[in-house]
Structure 1
């Protein structure tokens, strides 16, 4: 009878040990799956961050190349652009100082001397811009930035998503 009780107790202990073992294995499998999923998510995030950084570098290169390409356009383009920009500026500022890059100073001087509507304008010191003009009123209270980089920034902001979609899809 004692032997039967001992065997019964041992059977129960073995059954509980087997159940604990199965439960521990299931918990270990869940923990392993959870850890693997976390590591995969972290790796995906790192890859996505690297891709986004590479795309940003590429977009910055495209921006710089675009600005350089506009700056490298023929002199006739710059003369026409400056003429149009000066006419536009004259509608807002009647008398002022025109700043442009070193390359375009003679062009701006020629346009100002040629157009009567720009008689209140004088060419000021050169500025570090790729092209275009910056016009400052005589009293210094109003400044118009018609530089190529400002126009490109406006276009860039409005079309960045479209450009990104074209480049990266």
Structure 2
């Protein structure tokens, strides 16, 4: 065996070893790449799922916010309508004819003057109240009409003013009025 044969054997062995190392390196690189691709897919899937959850939550928040705004707007509109109805009722009371006013005052006084000593009314109704009531006329009050009857020591005041009656009826029947108007 010659030197050339030994060199060729060493060279062939080295080339075989390099080829083996290259195959192992390629296999390891493929494994690393496959693992990296799997990790990338997993991370991408997780981020996509998180993004979809965030979008769903954001959409839900926007819908809830819009619903609240609609409810607020609707409630404000209903409030405005109820206030307009109340204003129209005040205007209707203010427009009572003198005969209607006298009739109402007579009814209020007859039913309630036994409870008091003094009586008050607005300036427009003063003469009518003095004519209809046996109570001491104590002065004028501001308002749409009606009377206030007071006991002897002034500790009890019965408010039968049209304003007071309207306010009381409005408070008691607000729910029913709302149901009638808005269903």
Query: TM-score, length-normalised on structure 2?
Result: 0.82
For 1:115, the equivalent position in structure 2 comes to none
Query: 1:115-134 alignment to 2 at 5 Å?
Result: 118=134, 121-134=135-148
Identify the match of residue 106 of structure 1 among 124, 127, 131. Answer: 127
Q: How far apart are residue 71 of structure 1 and its match?
A: 2.2
Q: How far apart are residue 79 of structure 1 and its match?
A: 0.9
Looking at structure 2, the residues matched to 91 and 109 of structure 1 have their Cα atoms a distance apart, in angstroms, of 15
Looking at structure 1, the residues matched to 181 and 121 of structure 2 have their Cα atoms a distance apart, in angstroms, of 33
SS of the aligned residue for 2:115 comes to coil
Are positions 1:161 and 2:182 aligned together? no
SS of the aligned residue for 1:83 comes to helix
Are positions 1:136 and 2:150 aligned together? yes
Is the 2:113–2:149 contact (alpha carbons within 8 Å) kept by the matching residues of 1? no
State the Cα RMSD in Å: 1.3
Looking at structure 1, the residues matched to 76 and 37 of structure 2 have their Cα atoms a distance apart, in angstroms, of 58
Query: 1:7-156 alignment to 2 at 5 Å?
Result: 7-93=30-116, 96-112=117-133, 118=134, 121-156=135-170
Greater relative CO, 1 or 2 (CA 8 Å, sep 6+): 1
SS of the aligned residue for 2:154 comes to coil
Q: Deviations over 1:134-165 (max 9, x none)?
A: 11223212211011122212221222112112
Q: Aligned residues, how many?
A: 160
Which one has the largest radius of gyration? 2
- Identify unmatched segments of 5+ residues in structure 1: 113-117
- Identify unmatched segments of 5+ residues in structure 2: 1-23
SS of the aligned residue for 2:158 comes to strand
Query: TM-score, length-normalised on structure 1?
Result: 0.88
Is the 2:146–2:162 contact (alpha carbons within 8 Å) kept by the matching residues of 1? yes
Looking at structure 1, the residues matched to 174 and 145 of structure 2 have their Cα atoms a distance apart, in angstroms, of 22
Q: How far apart are residue 45 of structure 1 and its match?
A: 0.6
SS of the aligned residue for 1:130 comes to coil
